């Protein structure tokens, strides 16, 4: 297996790997048709076996504090995507991608990494096992047509909402979870990179 920088010719393999990797997660319907491009500098890595992209990790990072990450002090990097093709899981591909990304991040003088994920237990355990700490959370709430009634409406004539994706940042998370069918906790993890040098 080769861990290397992403190249534009990897895009189709990157998209396929990401789609397949997300199908059995709470992000199953967050489908991308092409790879994102970042406004700020980035660390973009792929894991390749016999020409196939089997893993990926993208970090957009700050040159000026507070421009990418949502919390913390100093220069940080945001993990936007980390995925391993389901046929290649449990081979430490994600760990190796993360280790290479951390090495590159420290070369760029980043002091921390931030990542947001949903409430898939195995994903959260992966972050924790790899030295990340939970620092914040809020809810992603999906409303279907029936759930919209009495909760959300359009102010525009003839525009009829049939579903909605919302963020709930209030305190009564249990009420939201009991009121709506599809609710995910969106969890922020952070890893201190300076501790790796100690």
Q: How confident is the model at residue 71, as a pLDDT?
A: 86
Supply the CATH number for residue 50's domain.
Answer: 3.40.630.30
Q: Residue for token digits 């894991």?
A: 47
Token pair 């070369």 is at which residue?
107
Can you point out the beta strands (E) in 13-163? 42-49, 52-61, 76-84, 112-117, 133-143
pLDDT single digits (tens) 135-145 = 999 999 999 99
Q: Is residue 93 part of a domain?
A: yes
Cα–Cα distance, 138 to 113 (Å, whole number): 19
The confidence score (pLDDT) of residue 197 equals 64
Q: Is residue 81 part of a domain?
A: yes
pLDDT on residue 194: 86
Query: Is position 185 within any domain?
Result: no
What residues pair up with 42 in beta bridges, in sequence order?
60
179, two tokens = 């009121």
Number of domains in the chain: 1
- Supply the DSSP string of 36-64, one letter for each residue: ---SS-EEEEEEEETTEEEEEEEEEE-SS
Question: In terms of pTM, does the model score above 0.85?
Answer: yes
What is residue 138's predicted lDDT score, i.e. its pLDDT?
97
C-beta of residue 22 within 8 angstroms of C-beta of residue 83: yes
The predicted pLDDT at position 196 comes to 72
Low-confidence ranges of the chain (pLDDT < 70): 197-198
Domain that holds residue 78: 2-115
Best CA proximity match to 116, nearest among 142, 134, 98, 129 = 134
- Decide: 111 and 46 in contact? Cβ < 8 Å: no
């Amino acid at each position: 297996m080769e861990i290397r920088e992403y190249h534009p010719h990897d895009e189709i393999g990157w998209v396929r790997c990401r789609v397949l990797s997300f199908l059995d997660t709470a992000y199953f319907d967050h489908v991308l048709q092409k790879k994102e491009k970042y406004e700020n500098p980035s660390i973009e890595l792929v894991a390749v076996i016999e020409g196939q992209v089997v893993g990926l990790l993208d970090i957009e990072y700050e040159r000026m504090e507070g421009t990418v990450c949502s919390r913390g002090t100093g220069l940080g990097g945001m993990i936007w995507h980390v995925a391993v093709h389901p046929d290649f899981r449990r081979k430490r591909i994600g760990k190796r991608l993360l280790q290479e990304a951390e090495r590159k991040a420290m070369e760029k003088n980043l002091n921390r990494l931030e990542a947001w994920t949903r409430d898939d237990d195995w994903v959260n355990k992966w972050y924790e096992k790899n030295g990340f700490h939970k620092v914040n959370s809020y809810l992603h709430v999906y409303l279907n047509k029936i759930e919209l009634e009495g909760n959300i409406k359009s102010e525009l004539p003839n525009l009829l909402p049939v579903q909605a994706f919302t963020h709930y940042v209030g305190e009564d998370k249990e009420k939201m979870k009991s009121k709506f069918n599809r609710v995910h906790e969106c969890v922020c993890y952070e890893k201190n990179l300076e501790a790796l040098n100690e």
